[in-house]
Each structure stands twice: as structure tokens, then as C-alpha cells.
Structure 1
Amino acid sequence: MVVRKDGIGRRWTEQEVALLTELYPLTPMPEMEAKVGKTAGQIKNKATNLGLKRDQSILGATRFKPGQESYNRIEVGERRDDGRNIRIKLPCGTWVLEHRWVWEQAHGPIPDKCVVAARDGNRRNTDLANLMLVTKDRHWRRNQIRKYPAELQDVILAQQDLKRAIREKKS
């Protein structure tokens, strides 16, 4: 094993383990690093392996005071626009696509083989009147013809639906 000048790669001695066990609960990390001669990461890893816990009084010094909130706290219901989709934060802490959430609030869960699509093609327009439920196959076909003018897209989709109906009748 290669041992670097900073001690990384060197095994813990019995004295270091005893010192860590004694100091870990109540000693601030910078002071512990100096006394033990290990980095904060090494100390935390060894303490975890030994099952050592920090005293809450030492942890309290680095946490927020009562009533104080993080500067980057994100409230429930907050919206984020990533340029392609809008996401909304739910009370459980997860983020969901807003167009899916809007649809589910109005119509219930989305079936497995379906997706929520925007009538105007803009997923960021989450107005319920603009949303529709389509099969994944139809959604794929709609996206394949986006390069054509709107009038031609309607004709192509109608033609594809007609062909599908004919195939289904034959079988």
C-alpha cells in the first residue's frame, strides 16, 4: 500500500482508534483532525465503521438556528422551468412534470400505455384545455410529422388512423 505524506493510505493504529473513540462525540472536527492526524473524511469513515455518534450539542453549532431557513429552500408547489418542461414540487418532496400533474388532478392516473401531450406541441403550456391523453404510439407518430405544416399533419394522422382501422378490420 502506498502511503502519502498526508497519511492517506496508512492504517489506523490502536492509539488513534482510542483517541478517536474518546474525542469523536464532543470535539469539533478541525481540532480532531489536528489531534488524530487524519482528514475529516477519514475520521468520519472510521467513526461510521466503529458505530460512533456525534453529540447533538456539537452538531447544533453547524445547523440552522430555530426559525432560520436555508437560503435555497424550495417551497411545495414551486415551479421550475428547465427550458423544455415545467416541473412542480409536491408535498412529498418529489418533482413531477407539471403537464402530467395537471392532467392527473383533473382525470386521475395516466394509464401505462399513454402519455399526456400538448395539443399545440408546447409542453410548457400546461392549461388543461391544451392537454390530451394519447397512446405512446400515436404520440410517436405525431412527433414524426412535426416538420410538416399543420394542415398536412392532420391529413397524415387521419390517413394513419384509417390504415390502422382497416388492418384491425382484416384481422
Structure 2
Amino acid sequence: MKRRPPIKYSEAELTWVRENATRARRVLHSEFSRRFKRSDVTLGNLRKLCERNGWQTGRDGREAPIGSERMNKDGYVFRKVDGPESQPAHKNWKPVHVILWEAIHGEVPDGCALKCVDGDKKNTDPLNWVLISRSMLPRLCGCNGSIPFSSAPMELKQTILAVAELEQVSRASKKEMRG
């Protein structure tokens, strides 16, 4: 496969990018393209140029104030919590439903998870979350041919949870009997 020739930048373009490198890359790219009329330079090209030259945005992931909230790609709401400076920035974000649930019930035990009852992950009310064993998660996703918990009607959710718990207890007791 043939490589494309490297993109040539003028001295004025390089100076401008270096002076504006602390801007968010999307904004930098948009302004660069408009200012220099360079439709041939993609966002990825500009990111790589900055990376090669060591021009960083100056952002370290810690710029959001403590208490800020954001939503991840799966629809869970996260809140920025105080953490040690030595800790990676991404570890300073914790799911809001976990924070609220733990304030009432204490820490989520190892091997357990919180399952959203009404299917709305944005609903962080502790009453909307139930503590379950992680080993129950495959039973609730519909992997065994049953109705997936997340897409089941509200009136069936409690039944699906009860059946999954029963299967869990049954499996554990069979395991114990086998020794």
C-alpha cells in the first residue's frame, strides 16, 4: 500500500498552530481550516502534527471541578469526586447511582453490582437500584434465552429478578453438594 506524501505546512501555519495549541483540537482544526483555507488537513492530521511537535492542550483531565457530572457512552451519569493527585484523572469519576446507594447502604460488596430496576440509567435514585451478585448478570441479559431484564416490561422485572436469584441459589447449592 502506497503512503500518501506528507502534508506540507507553511511557517505561518506552524507558528499559528504552536501559538494556539492549548485550544481543544476540534476548535483548533476548525479555526485552522477556516483561517488558512486548508480543507486537505483533517482533524487527525492536525492532532498528529501537535503530537509530533509536543504541542499539548495543557489539559490533564482534572480541569472539571469536583461535583461536575457527565454521562458516559452507556448512559450512566458520573460525578467527579476528590481523589489523590497521584491517581489517574479517569479514576476521579464515580457513577452517581453508586455514590447515592452507598450513602444509604454502605459500600457495594466485592462480587456484587447494582442493577437499574426501571431501565433508565439516568435515574440515580437509590430506590431504582438493586444489589445483585455479578454472577447473576448473564441470567439478566437474556443470554439463556429468557427475556432480557433491560427490555422487559416493568411488571415482569421483579419476576425476572426473583427467577434469576432462585437459579443462583439453586446453582450454588448444587455446587456445594458436589463438593
Q: TM-score, normalised by structure 1?
A: 0.48
Highest CA radius of gyration, 1 or 2? 1
Q: TM-score, normalised by structure 2?
A: 0.46
